[in-house]
């Protein structure tokens, strides 16, 4: 999973670092060069960018980490997730610019999950299973998201409890 020391979840970004560079820092990922990031990028997302004329080189992941879990100021431990099979870990991240590549975090606000798979979005949950979901599912989870209402389907999806 995306847990650092003592089961503390790595945030999507913080202190100028990304979730995948944090995993490199703790030696969970070990790339010898920038081309290693191709393993953290969806081939469909890369093809979509190329079709649109993007000059993006694979130096960052196309998968966005759920930015509602593991972000400062409070550290989140993996044991705090009460429903890992319902909590979003990674999803197809949106494009952020002509040459910038992809966003590093996804959330129910601005940076959402993007559909690169014939109108579907690829997502992975904390328990390790993956699904293709349609845009209606993503829209529903965004529109009803209120992470302050613990126990709702949407709070499990975004926050883990």
Q: What is the pLDDT of residues 46-59, one digit of tens each?
A: 888 778 777 666 66
Query: pLDDT band at 4, cuts 50/70/90?
Result: low
Output the CA angle 131-113-115, nearest 5 degrees: 70
Q: How far is CA 99 from the centre of its chain?
A: 20
Task: Provide the percentage of residues in the chain whose pLDDT is more than 70.
Answer: 80
Give tens-digit pLDDT for 120-160: 999 999 999 999 999 899 888 888 777 667 778 888 888 88
Residue 2 has pLDDT above 60, yes or no: no
Quickly state the pLDDT bin for 1 (edges 50, 70, 90): very low
Query: Which range has the worst mean pLDDT, 13-17, 20-24, 118-122?
Result: 13-17
């Amino acid at each position: 999973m995306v847990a650092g020391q003592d089961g503390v979840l790595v945030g999507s970004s913080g202190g100028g670092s990304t979730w995948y560079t944090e995993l490199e820092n703790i030696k969970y990922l070990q790339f010898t060069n920038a081309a290693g990031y191709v393993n953290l990028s969806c081939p469909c997302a890369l093809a979509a960018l190329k079709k649109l004329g993007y000059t993006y080189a694979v130096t960052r992941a196309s998968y966005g980490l759920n930015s509602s879990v593991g972000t400062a100021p409070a550290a989140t431990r993996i044991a705090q997730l009460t429903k890992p099979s319902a909590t979003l870990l990674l999803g197809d991240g949106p494009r952020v610019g002509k040459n910038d590549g992809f966003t590093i975090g996804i959330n129910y606000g601005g940076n959402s999950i993007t559909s690169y798979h014939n109108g579907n979005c690829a997502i992975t949950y904390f328990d390790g299973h993956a699904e293709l979901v349609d845009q209606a599912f993503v829209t529903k989870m965004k529109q009803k998201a209120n992470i302050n209402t613990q126990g709702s389907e949407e709070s499990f999806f975004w926050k883990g409890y």
